[in-house]
Amino acid sequence: MIWSNVIGTGGYLPATVRSNDDLSRMVDTSDSWIYERTGIKTRRIAAPEETASSMAEIASREAIARAGIDPQSIDMIIVATGTPDRVYPSTACLLQQRLGIRNGVGFDVQAACSGAIFAVSIADQYIKTGFCKTVLVVGSEICSRIVDWNDRATCILFGDGAGAVLLTASDQPGILSTHIHSDGSYEDLLYCPNPQVAIDAQKDEPGVINMRGNEVFKVAVNTLGRIVDETLAANGLQQNAIDWLVPHQANTRIIAATAKKLGMTMDQVILTLETQGNTSSASLLLAFHEGVRDGRIQPGQTILMEAFGAGFTWGSALIKY
């Protein structure tokens, strides 16, 4: 049997830090309100010249260096992003160019905050079936460019960054299972219009995130509870088989509910939310990278990744590291 094994991780965060106090000078909010409701204290903001592909390149180069492989051996690049540099070419093609790779294939995946899980799931299918040997998966987002900086209900949540993971074929267990879902009937609760390709030009909506946060919160908690059950059942595992929860970083209260469902303490959760905010499809890859880099995640351990995002989309990946 062929498995997908993780051989390298990488991450990139832009230099500029925007604190809750900075935000309280822009909108009617406070550090205590934001921290208590979300768990976020600071987030990073990309410089004007940065793009999803430029950030993806830095995260990818780190993953490639940590894996110690020749970039030319990468035969598929999947970039998850809701903030692509261009409508086309895909950010994956732009990344392919930046990495100097001219073989294989690159394409983007759009599943909002669940994008990294969707991309890992696709990569795993191609590796397991023998069509690809080495796949680079990246989540890269410049959320700051699609946030309404006058809307205190959303601008406090999001940040910029890129995370990368390299997967390769092996005869040893790696990705044990992936589970991805969507239900488009929730469009109105969380969406970002594309003003240049408006569905209804009369609406004249700006291209910023629109969210009914409280309703999103409730669906997210319930849905993530179900994906935990689905993942454990598919693998015939009990809660105590999971060493680390690596969640999409949207809100500490949502993450705590999932940890509770798994019978885990917050010490078994890789949290980056406090200093990074919600970086959408980059967040769980950044968290995974942090856990690997600082040595908390050890070879042989079992990791549950999960995410939830606009669509709604949601999913999980169970990985033997």
Could you give the residue numbers annotated as active site?
Answer: 113, 248, 278
- The window from 81-89, 93-101, 124-132, 207-215 that contacts ligand COA (CB under 6 A) reads 207-215
Q: Contacts with ligand COA in 227-246 (CB under 6 A)?
A: none
Query: What residue number has its CB nearest to ligand COA?
Result: 213
- Could you say whether residue 33 binds ligand COA (CB under 6 A)? yes
Measured distance CA(147)–CA(49) in Å, rounded: 18
Report in angstroms how near the CB of residue 32 gets to ligand COA at its nearest.
9
Which residue from 145, 138, 142 is spatially nearest to 286, judged by alpha carbons? 138
Nearer to ligand COA, 88 or 149 (CB): 149
For residue 152 the two structure tokens come to 């205190």
- Could you say whether residue 257 binds ligand COA (CB under 6 A)? no
Residue 313 CB neighbours (<10 A) = 23
- Identified binder of ligand COA from the candidate list 37, 61, 66, 320, rule CB under 6 A: 37
- Could you say whether residue 81 binds ligand COA (CB under 6 A)? no
Report in angstroms how near the CB of residue 282 gets to ligand COA at its nearest.
12
Distance of alpha carbon 279 from the chain centroid: 7
Measured distance CA(231)–CA(198) in Å, rounded: 38
- Could you say whether residue 17 binds ligand COA (CB under 6 A)? no
- The window from 30-38, 50-58, 74-82, 126-134 that contacts ligand COA (CB under 6 A) reads 30-38
| Strand partners of residue 269 | 245
* The pairing of beta strand 16-19 with beta strand 42-45: antiparallel
Cβ neighbours for 142, distance < 8 A, ≥ 6 positions apart = 46, 50, 51, 52, 55, 83, 160
- Identified binder of ligand COA from the candidate list 3, 118, 126, 217, rule CB under 6 A: 217
- Could you say whether residue 213 binds ligand COA (CB under 6 A)? yes
Site size for ligand COA (CB under 6 A): 19
Which residue from 132, 135, 178 is spatially nearest to 303, judged by alpha carbons? 178
Q: Contacts with ligand COA in 83-142 (CB under 6 A)?
A: 113
Measured distance CA(153)–CA(5) in Å, rounded: 39
- Could you say whether residue 10 binds ligand COA (CB under 6 A)? no
- Could you say whether residue 209 binds ligand COA (CB under 6 A)? no
- The window from 95-103, 210-218, 239-247, 265-273 that contacts ligand COA (CB under 6 A) reads 210-218
For residue 60 the two structure tokens come to 């990818």
**What are the distances in angstroms from CA 132 to CA 41, 66, 73, 232?**
40, 20, 10, 27
Which residue from 266, 174, 179, 183 is spatially nearest to 229, judged by alpha carbons? 179
- Could you say whether residue 272 binds ligand COA (CB under 6 A)? no
- List of residues contacting ligand COA (CB under 6 A): 29, 33-34, 37-38, 113, 152-153, 156, 211, 213-214, 216-217, 250-251, 278, 308-309
